[in-house]
Chain A
Amino acid sequence: MNPIAFVYLAAVLFAIGSAAVLLRRNAIIAFMGVELMLNAANLALVAFSRIHGEIDGQVMAFFVMVVAAAEVVVGLAIIIAVFRARQTISLDEPAELKG
């Protein structure tokens, strides 16, 4: 079986993750959708690395993982700060910046 099948799988996971970001109001679930999209991109990188027979793609996926870890730390800290300020993690509530 051609490894390109994993790229299709990555596309499906990316679509599911983006749907979660657009649909869910709970900030933590939307954030998990972002994580799923990052992981789908990683899967595509690793699959292409396998197809081309070079490991540079895996190094890129490793970098993405490090950036995702930093992003999770800051994102969850923001969620906690917002929760402290307004006792909610709904994405619709903090609407003070709306025009």
Chain B
Amino acid sequence: MVNEFAFWVIAVITVIPALSLLFARKAVHVAMSIVLVMVGLAAAYIVLAAPFLGVVQIVVYTGAVMMLFLFVLMLVGVDRREDLRETLAGQRWIAVLAAAGVGILLISVIANVSLTLAEPQTGEPDAIAGLLFGPYVLVIEALGALLITAAVGALVLTHVPRLTPKHTQREIAESRVRVGANPVNRPMPGVYARHNALDIPALDPEGNPIDESISRVLEVRHQTIDGVEYRASLPEGERE
């Protein structure tokens, strides 16, 4: 027999956050609700006389797996929008129907079984260890091989080989001279102008503006002003 109150608490904190998988818009919200589901499942394991698995669930799922999901979300961009266009017509309703069908099928099968409840045997760590390294020791070895393969596979999949040799500073300078480009760095914007700001071009020794000293990004955003606009913005007495 299990505590009825515990069951209902666990049911609420697993099913309701799990529904965010279907309805939440942002992936981060989904990930945080799944963390709550995992904590609820850990509580369920402890209620079901499996304290070792409850702790492992918290360490592995909430501690490692879901945090890994959050890392990947950060890598690919948290704000990425999901496109809701349907590629297959009516896929949404077919999917809902199929999932509901699976649920109803499972529940109706479970409702038809009658099982007699045996005395509980608590899954303490030493009892689990006795099984793991006794009858199941071959499985443990296979799982070790699987974990190593997975780690190496992840390394191989995310490794980006360098296709071109790395350039040294000297090679960069020499190639600049070779193509006839300006061998020195571009001047900083606004340094010799009367307005020391990023949106004003620097002036060369003859007083002409150097357009390339302004960041290209500011030009694309139309956040620069040229000389005429600048002169017009000055108060009356300062105009030359």
A43-B41, A46-B53, A65-B57 are known contacts. Are A22 and B119 too (CB-CB below 8 A)?
Answer: no
Please, how many angstroms separate the alpha-carbon atoms of A22 and B132 in the complex?
35
The tally of residues in B whose CB lies under 8 Å from a CB in A reads 83
Residues of B within 8 A of A90 (CB): 82-83
A26 to B30, CA, bound (A): 11
Residue of B nearest to A22 (CB): B95
Residue-wise interface mask of A (75-95) relative to B, using a CB-CB cutoff of 8 A (1 in contact, 0 not): 011111101100001101000
Please name the residue on chain A nearest to B72 by beta carbon: A76
B191 located at the interface, meaning its Cβ lies under 8 Å from any Cβ of chain A in the complex? no
Would A4 and B57 count as touching, CB distance under 8 A? Answer: no
Q: Which of A9, A15, A24, A62 contacts B14 (CB 8 A)?
A: A9
**Residues of chain A within 8 A of B10, CB atoms compared:** 9
- Contact present for A76 and B69 (CB under 8 Å): yes
Given contacts A22-B98, A36-B21, A65-B57, are A80 and B72 in contact (CB under 8 A)?
A: yes
Q: Are B50 and A46 in contact (CB under 8 A)?
A: yes
- How far apart are B209's CB and chain A's nearest CB, in angstroms? 37
Name the residue of chain A whose CB is nearest to the CB of B75: A80
Q: How far is the CA of A13 from the CA of B52 in the complex (A)?
A: 22
Bound Cα distance A52, B10 (Å)? 22
B173 within 8 A of A: no
Q: Is the CB of A19 within 8 A of B95?
A: yes
Q: Which residues of B contact A9 (CB under 8 A)?
A: 7, 10-11, 14-15, 44
Residue of B50, B100, B147 near A15 (CB, 8 A) is B100
A6→B2 CA distance, assembly (Å): 10
Closest B residue, CB atoms, query A83: B76
Residues of A within 8 A of B95 (CB): 19, 22-23
Q: Which of B3, B44, B84 has the most CB of A within 10 A?
A: B44
For the complex, give the distance between the alpha carbons of A42 and B48 in Å. Answer: 12
Q: Which 8 pairs from chain A and chain B are nearest by CB?
A: A15-B103, A53-B118, A19-B99, A22-B95, A70-B150, A11-B106, A20-B21, A77-B157
Interfacial residues, chain B to chain A (CB-CB below 8 A)? 1-4, 7, 10-11, 14-15, 18-19, 21-22, 27, 30-31, 34, 37-38, 41, 44-45, 48-50, 52-53, 56-57, 60-61, 64-65, 68-69, 72-73, 75-76, 80, 82-85, 87, 91-92, 94-96, 98-100, 102-103, 106-107, 110, 113, 115, 117-121, 123, 127-128, 131-132, 136, 139, 143, 146-147, 149-151, 153-154, 157-158, 160
- 7 inter-chain pairs at a CB distance below 8 angstroms, sorted by A residue, are A1-B2, A8-B110, A26-B82, A28-B73, A31-B69, A39-B41, A66-B143
